[in-house]
Structure 1
Amino acid sequence: MSRKIAFVASPVAEPQAALAELSALYGNVPLEQADVIVALGGDGFMLQTLHATQQIDLPVYGMNRGTVGFLMNAYARDGLEERLAQAEMALLNPLEMRAERVDGSFSQALAINEVSLLRQGAQAAKLRILVDGRERLSELVCDGAMVSTPAGSTAYNYSAHGPILPVGSDVMALTPVAAFRPRRWRGALLPKSSKVRFEVVEPDKRPVMADADSRSVRNVVAVDIASRGDIVHKLLFDPGHGLEERLIREQFA
């Protein structure tokens, strides 16, 4: 018995063309009637899809109609039902960000890849880092810092020379961005259960913004980050091309 598919696509030409083509071949049911979601676009659109369908207990199978496509499978018009039947599943837990602004207001967001803090102006940021309520670094002078999940460890984290994490590992990567002091500090690996807090030193002189999967909060004074084990995203990958294999392969590229 074939699965009922809900197709979603990025609102640009190539994914929209694929949406029309695949919908004509396989049908396209509403999300509430679907067995599986097929997302057409790039990694950014996959993240949007996972966030948008968070309350729906459905697996998501991505087909790359974007640029990098690390979270996506190769696009092909034919054989989709067979690919879905044979697909491997990866389970991902997001991070939760709770950011306090200078004016005392708060903002919360979830991040599948990473939560990052970045300087807002010309001067370097100064951050105090606490893990599980214990000060670990009194002052990090930097362009920013981030906490990354295994799924996000090959994205911004890797560009900032952070480690690639196995997808099944119960760890998070805490990685600085262009650290000036301590000059040789390269970050830390933390248990997934850790609660990380960044406090902004001199926020008026050195303003800082926080970002959770491209959802930004400006003028923050403190940011708390923790893994949400009660939220599970289900991603589907073609056999032999799963997320675990991709993370390993990336390290030998």
Structure 2
Amino acid sequence: MAQPHPRIAFLASRTPEAQAAYESLVAVHGQHEPDEADVICALGGDGFMLQTLHRHGPRGKPVFGMKLGKVGFLMNQYQPDALLERIAAAEPAVLRPLEMIAVTESGASTHSLAYNEVSLLRQTRQAAHVRIELNGQVRMEELVCDGVMVATPAGSTAYNYSAHGPILPLGSSVIALTPIAAFRPRRWRGAILRADTEVRFTILDPDKRPVSATADSHEVREVVEVTVRESEQHTVTLLFDPEHNLEERILNEQFVT
């Protein structure tokens, strides 16, 4: 007995290429609301994929992305033919995001999720001065830097790698703590931590040296304390073509010269 076709919710970025692909695919496969769909198909780049995960991740639907943007590390190649067969044969990659709790100078507290990284950046020409605690223990009294980040394995090949952080294998149950242009200690290159480590950043002299915190694309300015931990409740599932799955991409990135 033939398996029923999956109900697909197509979502597209605003680029002309993604919009044209959206119209073409909907004409062939139909369209379903994300709540009613079996699979979400995201058309765009990595930025649009992150938007899709933040907006629709709580629905628990697997996401099959196709690259129609500038960067597509989290996407499959755009090939509209045999889409149903590709989805049926796709390999899942379960991602667990970071949770950020940022407290501002006004005392407000903001909670955000990050599938790639949580980054702290200086807001002015003054370098940031940051204290770092791991599981309640001070590990660095003062890091003088342009910024510092915590990255997931899926995000380790993005901003983290550009800041000379390590590439982390998917499913390794570790996260990367990476400085951005560290001035003191000058030779500190960061650390690889267990994924269940709670990282707390305290901003020293925030009036003179203000700092912003960003979870993926959600920015909070003038923070005084930021706590980052791996989420215990949230996961999302991405679907990848077997010949080009996410684990293989992360492995390949370590051999790019």
Assess same fold via TM > 0.5. yes
Answering whether residue 101 of structure 2 is matched by residue 98 of structure 1, we say yes
Aligned to 1:217: 220
- Structure 1 residue identity aligned to 2:92: M
Aligned to 2:86: 83
Answering whether residue 208 of structure 2 is matched by residue 231 of structure 1, we say no
Aligned to 1:26: 29
Taking the aligned partners of 1:55 and 1:214, their CA distance within structure 2 comes to 18
Answering whether residue 45 of structure 2 is matched by residue 42 of structure 1, we say yes
Tell me, what secondary structure is at the counterpart of 1:209?
strand
Taking the aligned partners of 1:234 and 1:64, their CA distance within structure 2 comes to 17
Tell me, what secondary structure is at the counterpart of 1:122?
coil
Taking the aligned partners of 2:103 and 2:25, their CA distance within structure 1 comes to 44
Taking the aligned partners of 1:164 and 1:148, their CA distance within structure 2 comes to 10
Q: 2:156 aligns with which of 142, 153, 158?
A: 153
Taking the aligned partners of 1:47 and 1:55, their CA distance within structure 2 comes to 13
Tell me, what secondary structure is at the counterpart of 1:31?
coil
* Worse overlay, 27-36 or 37-46: 27-36
Following superposition, the deviation at residue 33 of structure 1 comes to: 1.8
Answering whether residue 245 of structure 2 is matched by residue 242 of structure 1, we say yes
What are the Cα deviations for residues 98-148 of structure 1, in whole angstroms up to 9, with x where unaligned? 001011111110000000000000011000000000000000000000000
Following superposition, the deviation at residue 29 of structure 1 comes to: 1.1
Following superposition, the deviation at residue 11 of structure 1 comes to: 1.8
Q: 1:163 aligns with which of 163, 166, 177?
A: 166
Unaligned runs of 5+ in 1: none
Following superposition, the deviation at residue 36 of structure 1 comes to: 0.3
- Structure 1 residue identity aligned to 2:107: G
TM-score scaled by length of structure 1: 0.99
Number of matched pairs? 253
Q: 1:12 aligns with which of 12, 15, 18?
A: 15
- Structure 2 residue identity aligned to 1:54: G
Taking the aligned partners of 1:229 and 1:13, their CA distance within structure 2 comes to 38
Taking the aligned partners of 2:106 and 2:38, their CA distance within structure 1 comes to 45
Unaligned runs of 5+ in 2: none
- Structure 2 residue identity aligned to 1:180: F
Taking the aligned partners of 1:62 and 1:229, their CA distance within structure 2 comes to 25
Answering whether residue 208 of structure 2 is matched by residue 205 of structure 1, we say yes
Following superposition, the deviation at residue 229 of structure 1 comes to: 2.6
Aligned to 2:57: 54
* Worse overlay, 12-21 or 173-182: 12-21
TM-score scaled by length of structure 2: 0.97
What are the Cα deviations for residues 57-114 of structure 1, in whole angstroms up to 9, with x where unaligned? 2100000000110000000121100100100000000000000101111111000000
What are the Cα deviations for residues 187-241 of structure 1, in whole angstroms up to 9, with x where unaligned? 0011111000000011001000000011100000000000003211000000121
Taking the aligned partners of 1:152 and 1:229, their CA distance within structure 2 comes to 18
Aligned to 1:64: 67
- Structure 2 residue identity aligned to 1:133: G
- Structure 2 residue identity aligned to 1:23: V
Taking the aligned partners of 1:33 and 1:178, their CA distance within structure 2 comes to 46
Taking the aligned partners of 2:253 and 2:149, their CA distance within structure 1 comes to 20
Tell me, what secondary structure is at the counterpart of 2:35?
helix
Following superposition, the deviation at residue 170 of structure 1 comes to: 0.7
- Structure 1 residue identity aligned to 2:182: A
Taking the aligned partners of 1:214 and 1:124, their CA distance within structure 2 comes to 22
Identical positions, percent: 59
Taking the aligned partners of 1:133 and 1:106, their CA distance within structure 2 comes to 19
